[in-house]
Structure 1
Amino acid sequence: MEKINTKNRLIESAYNEIYENGYQGASLNTILKNANVHKGSMYHFFSTKKEMALCAIQEKIYAKFEERYERILNLDSNYLEALIEQLKDTSQRDFIRGCPIANIVQEMSNIDDEFKVIMEKIYYTFRKSIKNILDMAIEKKEMKECDTNKLSLYIASTLEGAILSAKATGNVQDYSDVIDMLAIFILSFKNCVDKK
């Protein structure tokens, strides 16, 4: 159990340090200090800082997908409304540090193939999470038939842009204004025909 806790502390600390300072600016000493782990213990789980970073990024971001999007699929109805409510929830966003996906893609994807591969996989999973919600809404006849690949791309891109805008201006209202317009667009696909 202690080994699992040690590994989890390393993952949590590595993710926070990378989110705060980027991968290249992340200090291994700070990661170890904040995790309260010695370097020798780290090497029991990870052979390098990079291996630990990739594991931390993957685990923490996938956990956020599950928390934010996958739970919507467990609902019985109102999938679009639940998606919009989740998008509008500013308490789940960090507008100072921005989106961890975008930050890491911009920093590392063009200089490191391993980061490029994992971030591409994470980004497509992010879009697929949104697509799954849209597909469920169509299946339950809450939404008109449409190209959910393109719509999920549009939603993901708009969301990323809204977070970047708020980060750039320091004004969370910029994010909210974009999401309000996005919500109107999403609801334009709502099926108003009685479900029988």
Structure 2
Amino acid sequence: MENNTRINLINSSFDEIYKKGYQGASLTTILKNAKVHKGSMYHFFANKKELALVSIKEKIYERFSQRYSAILQLESNYLEAFIKSIKDVKQRDFNLGCPIATVIQEMSNLDDDFKILMKEIYQTFRKNINNILDKAVEKNEMKQCDTAKLALYIVSTLEGAILSAKATGNVKDYIDVIDILSSYILSFRL
């Protein structure tokens, strides 16, 4: 039961912050949606900020794990699996945008704890993609290249594509950018 309470708080907090931003997130709404009293929250977290930081970290790393760990466990076809993953529009919310970018934009200049956490998350995002590219090079599926720079380019393009789709309300903007990005990535294939 105690673990369920913590999970409910994490999920509710992340959802509220993702939809309204940290500053717009209501602790009352978080607790109501988690079906938890304030005293129960304080059993796990010192305050709203700690709850927010933990929920952002856990939920975003959970997404990374679902998206990228499975690709790294493969024996081959890393580029194809990665491209399939980025083309899957069901994995993204184009109305709300990327949760990483959303929190970075809102909080990195306002709070050092958020800035540190979001830098760590962003670097992990890049590293996950870099690891996939390194695996593809290692297995002779792609040419030797500066995989760190290519990972930076891919992350930047993904973030821009998500922002474009959010700004226009048109998922096709994301799809069009990803089609070009996919062709570019595949140009490194051996």
Question: TM over 0.5, yes or no?
Answer: yes
- Report the counterpart of residue 35 of structure 1 in structure 2: 34
Aligned residue type for 1:103: T
Task: Show structure 1 runs of 4+ deviating over 3 A.
Answer: none
- Report the counterpart of residue 141 of structure 1 in structure 2: 140
Total equivalences in the alignment: 190
- Report the counterpart of residue 74 of structure 1 in structure 2: 73
- Report the counterpart of residue 102 of structure 1 in structure 2: 101
Task: State yes or no: 1:125 paired with 2:106.
Answer: no
Unmatched 5+ residue regions in structure 2?
A: none
Q: What is the distance in 2 between the residues matched to 1:63 and 1:182?
A: 25
Taking structure 1 as the reference length, the TM-score comes to 0.97
Q: What is the distance in 2 between the residues matched to 1:186 and 1:180?
A: 10
- Report the counterpart of residue 194 of structure 1 in structure 2: none
Taking structure 2 as the reference length, the TM-score comes to 1.00
Report SS of the residue matched to 2:18. Answer: helix
Report SS of the residue matched to 2:75. Answer: coil
- Report the counterpart of residue 7 of structure 1 in structure 2: 6
Question: Once the 2 structures are TM-superposed, how far is the Cα of residue 164 of structure 1 from its aligned partner?
Answer: 0.1
Aligned residue type for 2:164: S
Report SS of the residue matched to 1:69. Answer: helix
Q: What is the distance in 1 between the residues matched to 2:41 and 2:55?
A: 13
Question: Once the 2 structures are TM-superposed, how far is the Cα of residue 24 of structure 1 from its aligned partner?
Answer: 0.1
Aligned residue type for 2:30: I
- Report the counterpart of residue 26 of structure 1 in structure 2: 25
Unmatched 5+ residue regions in structure 1?
A: 192-196
Aligned residue type for 1:180: D
Question: Once the 2 structures are TM-superposed, how far is the Cα of residue 70 of structure 1 from its aligned partner?
Answer: 1.3
Q: What is the distance in 2 between the residues matched to 1:80 and 1:69?
A: 12
Aligned residue type for 2:179: D
Aligned residue type for 1:95: F
Question: Once the 2 structures are TM-superposed, how far is the Cα of residue 76 of structure 1 from its aligned partner?
Answer: 1.1
Q: What is the distance in 2 between the residues matched to 1:160 and 1:174?
A: 12
RMSD between aligned residues? 0.4
1:163-192 alpha-carbon deviations (Å, 9 max, x no partner): 00000000000000000000010001001x
